[in-house]
Structure 1
Amino acid sequence: WMEEIGNTEWKGVLALGMGGSAAGGDFLSALCNLKGKTPVVVQRDYVLPSWWDEKWLVISTSHSGNTEEAIDATEIALKAGATVIVISTGGILSGLAELHYNCYYIPSIGGQPPRSAFGHIFARQLALFRGIGLLPEGDDDEAMLQRLQLIVNDYDFINNNDSDVIELISYMATQPISLLGPTELMPALNRFKNQLNENSARFARIGIFPEMNHNESVAWGGVGNDADFSVEENVILFLTWNGMHSRVVKRLEWMIAHTPSDMAWRIHGEGESLLEALLHLCIIMDWLSIALGLIHGKDPSAIGPINSLKKFLADQN
């Protein structure tokens, strides 16, 4: 079926999902914007966009297979005649492939929360996109994975007492957190925000270059007396990579030079591609969010409010 899908001319890909299961869609969208053959739109909702039709390939991702928003949106797509690919560990979504001739199932690996299963989920999404020709094959994935494993080891604060994580979280523990970076790193910025929300029970705000320079820069100040009252209290993490537009590099340099906060760090996504840079940053961000949760006395795996909401919604059925 992959060959048939790969030979079909699609308008684009609609990626359905929520939370950690939706993160891979953001990564696919950024990669396709840079080197892909079709647009990828991520839909985090119960419904489909009004412009959607069956000429858009649908990928529905839910780690459990029981995410109600993803189920509803997937069923709408199938009833409209869509071609749907489901990625899950089982659940209701996996059963749809048995009920619909135009629905295909790619099994994932269970036993952990969706956000920590990102590698399992995204690996399947990326392999699918390469397999059906929407993204080019990697130049040397094995070498990339070896480099990324070194980053995992370097930032493992549990087994490496010299990890840079320790110093950074000492500032993040008591201050507001702001995450700034270029458009193409938005998937990593958004995932970091979500990881801080869930693993650390902390808020974080995101600013994207160059868009933020047309509004948010005023609130950051740095020139004159106007600025948000909390600017100097913020821990600011600037996320960068080697492929940034030259003008965005200049914008970021200006921002760094005029940042009122003394607590600012540049975290560079190393690597030979956007894919590697994104994964490099995600590894660092994951370790930071786990360490910050532990500093606050929080179990990084605990998501009490989310589970409570799910029970409340289930009781309403």
Structure 2
Amino acid sequence: MNRKFWLFILILITFFIAQSCLRKVDEETSLVDLELIKICKWKDIASTCVMFTFDDSNKSSINISKVLEKYNFKSTFFVIASDLYTKDLKEMIANGHEIGNHTYSHINLKTADSSKVDFEIRMGKETIENALKIKCVSFAEPGGQKTPMSTRAVFRYHLFDRNYSEFQGAKRNFISYSDFTNVEPLMKSLRNAINEGSILVIEGHGMDGDGYMPMSKVFFIQTLDSLKKYTNNEQVWLTTVKEGSQYENLYHEISLEKKQLNNTLTFTFKGYNKEKYKDLLVSPISIEIPNILSEKLSCLTDSIQITKLTDKFVFTLDLKRNTNIVMKIN
């Protein structure tokens, strides 16, 4: 009897030791897996963000916008506030394009005094907002001319500048339709942006004889056909300045707190400044989760876009609605 008793005790001890070891292995594995969960550099795990922008108040802007819409592309049009084609611009806004500030009268901000700079930037924004009934959050300097003083004025009245980020080290690449006559230079710039994970800004003015060094509609369509191949395989996120720049900001501003309790994962986004982005309708952010966590994940949080890729899940949410994601590992 004593022998059976001690044998039973030995089996019990062995069982509890084994369970303890398994729990320890699981905890260590979970820790490693959680470290692999991260915020995507670009929305929906795209490799780069491409932003089309067109400067000045050109009559051909409406035609440019219609060509873009056939590809389901959006652009930002930086307009001179003293010369607005209000009806056309309202139609463009309704179709998803952004209208940005290009100063009130297209002055050189590098040579103007501080009061003139402030007036041009402030009055440009106010005029656009009053005429179009929108919040104007993006700015582009005429000719790219700027000073530290004008930069301060830009960010005093706007959230974003087309030509640079408020964060050091956030690289932007630029190519203008006035700089190339065939598609290859654009494709080279795009491949570089994909490799770097940086923003590519494609700049233009007018089309078919309208505006500064205008492109032809035929060539414009050729470039869009080439870009469409990259957007179809989700390598490229093509969007407006305000959407791309906001995501760039959020990537630098927020952090992701990750916790696991048994088979429940909780992710909390820290540092989101709701007041800063109050003039924007949405604040999307994406995270990637490797499949090795589980063969199947169930999201318990509403309004989350879930994309299943070969080796990972991508979760995209609007921080204005949720700063937490709760998931269950099945």
What TM-score does the superposition give when structure 1 sets the normalisation length?
A: 0.21
What TM-score does the superposition give when structure 2 sets the normalisation length?
A: 0.21
Structure of larger gyration radius: 2
Work out which structure has the larger RCO, using CA pairs closer than 8 Å and 6 or more positions apart in sequence: 2
Give the number of the structure whose residues are more often helix, by fraction: 1
